[in-house]
Amino acid sequence: ELSNIMKQHILNKTPVFGICFGHQLMAHAFGGIISENKDGSYFEGTREIEFCHDYGTIKKGKKLKVAVGHGYCVEKKPDSFVQMATSEDCTYDALRHETYPYFGVQCHPEASDYFLLNEIKNEIDPSEFPSIQNGGDQILQSFFVDVGL
């Protein structure tokens, strides 16, 4: 099972960055609960997330605009995970393991122009792409800083 393979890598201290389903998969593997979005809808487009703690180069209270596309989210975090970011739509928009090199996000920090134009069905104004991609870049860079890469 994929979740057991990834969990073992994390426990062996291999840095792992979970995106969307990967974020949900790892939360579940460590004892969290995943459920459909609050109103049963599929969240697609952009949203603002707020960091609850310092992480890498991101400071507590920092708000980032990110790309999203998901029908499920983490409803209850695992005991060994720390809530790192939240939003109106998703309580656990980002989680990290307390001791192992794992960080996961519900959003899509890897979103390219192609992804934003073709994979997100709710139209996003291309003038917003740099802001969305900057938020994703900050999240990815913070992971690299956090795990020493």
Q: Is 97 a catalytic residue?
A: no
Q: Which of 23, 108, 119, 123 is catalytic?
A: 108
Q: What is the DSSP-derived secondary structure letter of residue 28?
A: H
88: helix, coil or strand?
Answer: coil
Q: Is 70 a catalytic residue?
A: no
C-alpha–C-alpha distance, residues 76 and 144, integer Å: 26
Q: Could you give the count of Cα atoms lying within 13 Å of 95 in the half-sphere of its Cβ?
A: 28
Which of 20, 73, 90, 107 is catalytic? The answer is: 20
Of 65, 55, 136, 67, nearest in space to 102 by CA = 55
Residues 6+ apart with CB under 8 A from 129: 113, 116
Has 110 been annotated as catalytic? Answer: yes
Identified catalytic residue from 44, 48, 75, 110: 110
Which pair of tokens denotes residue 138? 């900050």
What positions carry a catalytic annotation?
Answer: 20, 108, 110
